[in-house]
Structure 1
């Protein structure tokens, strides 16, 4: 590998422009963390003495169909109001499918670099598929230790035609079998606020979906790096499959610089649900988009597979009128979601600052 690991331009060309990614660095025999990946001390994630989040015990979604509906709905709403994260079981997505999904993610990323690099944003044969590394590498002070492929859903035919073959079928099935659960949870959450969602309103909140596959190669010095930096998700709800290794951390105290971070423990067969910015906006701040981040590990490669459900780009989002009437104030202004997305993807991860774009005061 003819490059200087400590020269950001040389490393950037190899990892980003040529599409080798962080996996390419590790496959080259890397034994140290290149300086462009070394995080400032205040952004590093302590590995020792990490607290496990007891509030993330799984919620049994099957109980929504019986006499325990109100109790379970309260659990879901309470989690969305406080932590912004919860885990669910008996969610309708077969465990066998989840296992196949993890295997497909590993299969995609173990391909030769040129097979993945063909999906880089600048050359991808489809606007629906993007392969990349870090988040916004050209704007980041320190790069994130992560490669990913993102697949936007429009319809089955386009997904089957354009999504990468190693993960196409299983990712599509994962998305389709998860959406009933997503709509159920969104309906429960809005119902607790006195908002009735018809099909049009539901579609306005979760009408655009995408599946990402994230790959975190083993890191020689994980204490110096992050897999994903501090951020909240831009959409309505995120559905996340963890692979059992762990490393997902959520901030307990919103709006503070020194809030405690807790780990969401991986649970076999469970899916992690978290609130995004769009749901915080339409709920007028009642539900909290969770600030979270991901650490790296020295022992083995890790994968995670999120589904992002977001409003369609042309939708205008703002607090629902019936919630504003009850609260007496609109805490967020109405924004075109395309503008919100442009702002979100136009800057490096920095906690929940993306929400400032929609604040009313």
Structure 2
């Protein structure tokens, strides 16, 4: 039964509990978004605030293991200290795989709802696969125009047994082919801080991966909605494949701390064959604030459906971590306290997305 768009309970049941999601609404042929999706004015994406692409945003990783290694590391570190975002090319991930990822993402969300609700939050046969919509719709005043499925990686055998059949092999290959790159970048960023980390500790800090397939159906009122609200990621480093439609915006840090609605946002344009990288909260904590987790958000479009596939790399859930002692000794102050990553994630997912407020969980203040 189609929901009454004016009845929040009916809408919640249709979109969230029954798993129809935003795609289910679009398939009904709606011509304007329900009130529940209308964002407060200061959360909407105003193109007048958007700057062009950031200088030195694209980094060629073919130079990483050659004579220009130091220059590449400096470029990566500079991007991580300022915008918290950069794009990489010549990264070693086959372009055919990236195209296949986009195809299987569209295929997953194009299935009948009965196939998707098998993995619905709360009823999924495994905690390793969760299908849902928005971020935490139970807690949000305004919902995001997005459906998603999250797959947590433990090992190949469990992934092949428990992940959705139609996308598991391609997603697994995406994790495998990006893993070495992510490890190299994180090792370089940590070394750049003047810190040495042993292999077992490095694994504790970087050994946890989850993958999202994000789906953004066309929206009749893109100026009133967001695909994903403003937030930073919880982990160490995120690898993102965007399609050629675009819509990702990153907040540019400003010295005068511009008020909400007046900040400057940089669009991260789609570049064929590139992968987008961004710093997460955990790397900001470990670096004692030297590296900046990037506050970002995603706009909607009224033309076509788009997909994006991020891999979130982070510490193992049982790992306790705080700022590296060497950096605290140098800085003379610890800006963050020690936290257990699993507890950080629990706090992160209990709240609505709200900029970088997730970091308050680890704040010393």
TM-score category (smaller protein): over 0.9
Asked whether the equivalents of residues 56 and 87 of structure 1 are also in contact (C-alpha less than 8 Å), the reply is no
Following TM superposition, by how much is the alpha carbon of 1:57 offset from its aligned partner in structure 2, in angstroms?
A: 3.0
Please show how residues 225-304 of structure 1 align to structure 2 within 5 Å.
225-253=225-253, 256-257=258-259, 258-304=262-308
Asked whether the equivalents of residues 235 and 283 of structure 2 are also in contact (C-alpha less than 8 Å), the reply is yes
Distance in 1 between residues matched to 2:48 and 2:337, nearest whole Å: 41
**Which of 231-240 and 40-49 deviates more?**
40-49
Asked whether the equivalents of residues 2 and 14 of structure 2 are also in contact (C-alpha less than 8 Å), the reply is no
Distance in 2 between residues matched to 1:168 and 1:56, nearest whole Å: 34
Q: Secondary structure at the match of 1:287?
A: coil
Q: Give per-residue Cα distances to partners, 1:300-343, cap 9 Å, x unaligned.
A: 00000000001111111100111111111111000111211111
| TM-score w.r.t. length of structure 2 | 0.97
Could you say which residue in structure 1 is the equivalent of 2:93? 93
Q: Secondary structure at the match of 2:55?
A: helix
Could you say which residue in structure 1 is the equivalent of 2:132? 132
Following TM superposition, by how much is the alpha carbon of 1:154 offset from its aligned partner in structure 2, in angstroms?
A: 0.4
Asked whether the equivalents of residues 218 and 303 of structure 2 are also in contact (C-alpha less than 8 Å), the reply is yes
Distance in 1 between residues matched to 2:103 and 2:343, nearest whole Å: 36
**Structure 1, gaps ≥5 residues long:** none
Could you say which residue in structure 2 is the equivalent of 1:34? 34
1:164 and 2:164 correspond: yes
Following TM superposition, by how much is the alpha carbon of 1:48 offset from its aligned partner in structure 2, in angstroms?
A: 5.8
Distance in 2 between residues matched to 1:36 and 1:243, nearest whole Å: 27
Asked whether the equivalents of residues 56 and 264 of structure 1 are also in contact (C-alpha less than 8 Å), the reply is no
Q: Give per-residue Cα distances to partners, 1:83-127, cap 9 Å, x unaligned.
A: 000000111111110000000100100000010011012111111
RMSD across aligned C-alpha pairs, in angstroms? 1.2
Asked whether the equivalents of residues 21 and 147 of structure 2 are also in contact (C-alpha less than 8 Å), the reply is yes
Q: Secondary structure at the match of 2:176?
A: helix
Could you say which residue in structure 1 is the equivalent of 2:312? 308
1:347 and 2:351 correspond: yes
Following TM superposition, by how much is the alpha carbon of 1:6 offset from its aligned partner in structure 2, in angstroms?
A: 1.9
How many residues were matched structurally?
361
Could you say which residue in structure 1 is the equivalent of 2:68? 68
Following TM superposition, by how much is the alpha carbon of 1:51 offset from its aligned partner in structure 2, in angstroms?
A: 2.4
Asked whether the equivalents of residues 49 and 264 of structure 2 are also in contact (C-alpha less than 8 Å), the reply is no
Distance in 2 between residues matched to 1:54 and 1:334, nearest whole Å: 33
Following TM superposition, by how much is the alpha carbon of 1:80 offset from its aligned partner in structure 2, in angstroms?
A: 0.1
Please show how residues 316-327 of structure 1 align to structure 2 within 5 Å.
316-327=320-331
Q: Give per-residue Cα distances to partners, 1:153-188, cap 9 Å, x unaligned.
A: 000000001111111100000001111000000011
Q: Secondary structure at the match of 2:119?
A: coil
Asked whether the equivalents of residues 57 and 79 of structure 2 are also in contact (C-alpha less than 8 Å), the reply is no
Asked whether the equivalents of residues 251 and 266 of structure 2 are also in contact (C-alpha less than 8 Å), the reply is yes
Asked whether the equivalents of residues 319 and 332 of structure 1 are also in contact (C-alpha less than 8 Å), the reply is yes
Distance in 2 between residues matched to 1:16 and 1:112, nearest whole Å: 15
Q: Give per-residue Cα distances to partners, 1:50-76, cap 9 Å, x unaligned.
A: 422223631011101111011110000
Distance in 2 between residues matched to 1:10 and 1:314, nearest whole Å: 39
Could you say which residue in structure 2 is the equivalent of 1:17? 17
Could you say which residue in structure 2 is the equivalent of 1:334? 338
Runs of 4+ in structure 1 off by over 4 angstroms are none
Please show how residues 194-205 of structure 1 align to structure 2 within 5 Å.
194-205=194-205
Q: Secondary structure at the match of 1:214?
A: strand
Could you say which residue in structure 1 is the equivalent of 2:213? 213
Asked whether the equivalents of residues 50 and 264 of structure 2 are also in contact (C-alpha less than 8 Å), the reply is no
